[in-house]
Structure 1
């Protein structure tokens, strides 16, 4: 079924208007930028490298990396993280063991080695730096909202 030139023009006009509405309502994270202008990158902030485990904001949050990973090799053939955090190396390294979930398939079957889908650690685990957030964080922990732990009065 053919729409004809007027129907196609109306469809394009509607698409253009929808794009304009989205463009006006979605906030920019970095502020306005000049078109095609070379802007120097800000220097990277210094990472927090105090080796202190950080409190997690919510259950199942991946732990952050409390040490430098500068120069760590993380490729298909090598994963330096596992040289300390893999189960069999934690006693000698003193590092916390990676979660047992990292040894499971997506169907919950246990594996003898780290699951390939959990091999690239920095997909979930990141080093930290003291920086201002790009957007306001309004997260509140359940305990701040008056929710009591089981057994509390």
Structure 2
């Protein structure tokens, strides 16, 4: 029994050391009996410039601040600009037609209740450096690479 506890303790210590190496840039390493300084909250990207999507069905990110937007059962501030009737005046992109479909694919006259809470899929972006390197390659770059290999004879 003592050997099992010792082995488990060593595994836990190794796991914690590994996690500390991988997460060192995410959170500060502060001893338990001390309080660390709070980090500055990063600024929200507020450019109103549409961001390129990484894959076809990716929900678009929100390119502006949404502080103090009411988004609950009683009101949805996003629809002030992005609803079908508001886009001509606001020049904002209209919400997707998929937001007007129920579970069975039937088109509704208004936004589906399951698509009403925008921030469950759409998020604002913050002006920060990535914590980890992103090696994502979109399908267009993969196809370009494959075409290049065929033309090059490799």
- Please, what TM-score do these two structures have when normalized by structure 2? 0.73
- Following superposition of structure 1 onto structure 2, how do residues 21-60 of structure 1 map, counting pairs within 5 Å? 27-28=22-23, 29-30=26-27, 32-35=29-32, 37-60=34-57
Q: CA deviation at 1:142?
A: 2.4
Partner of 2:125: 128
Residues 58 and 141 of structure 1 are in contact (CA less than 8 Å); yes or no, is this contact kept in structure 2?
yes
Aligned pair count? 140
After the TM superposition, list the runs of 4 or more consecutive aligned residues in structure 1 that deviate by more than 4 angstroms.
21-27
Partner of 1:89: 86
Residues 99 and 115 of structure 2 are in contact (CA less than 8 Å); yes or no, is this contact kept in structure 1?
yes
The CA distance in 2 between the partners of 1:82 and 1:36, in whole Å, is: 48
Cα-to-partner distance string for 1:107-146 (whole Å, 9 max, x where unaligned): 3222111111111111111112221112221111223331
Identify which range, 96-105 or 134-143, moves more after superposition.
134-143
- Is residue 100 from structure 1 mapped to residue 97 from structure 2 by the alignment? yes
Cα-to-partner distance string for 1:74-111 (whole Å, 9 max, x where unaligned): 11211100111011211121111001111112232221
Cα-to-partner distance string for 1:18-53 (whole Å, 9 max, x where unaligned): x83765665434354433643332111112212111
- Is residue 139 from structure 1 mapped to residue 136 from structure 2 by the alignment? yes
- Is residue 117 from structure 1 mapped to residue 114 from structure 2 by the alignment? yes
Residues 30 and 134 of structure 1 are in contact (CA less than 8 Å); yes or no, is this contact kept in structure 2?
no
The CA distance in 1 between the partners of 2:73 and 2:136, in whole Å, is: 36
Q: CA deviation at 1:61?
A: 0.8
The CA distance in 1 between the partners of 2:33 and 2:87, in whole Å, is: 50
Partner of 1:62: 59
RMSD between aligned residues: 2.9
The CA distance in 1 between the partners of 2:104 and 2:36, in whole Å, is: 46
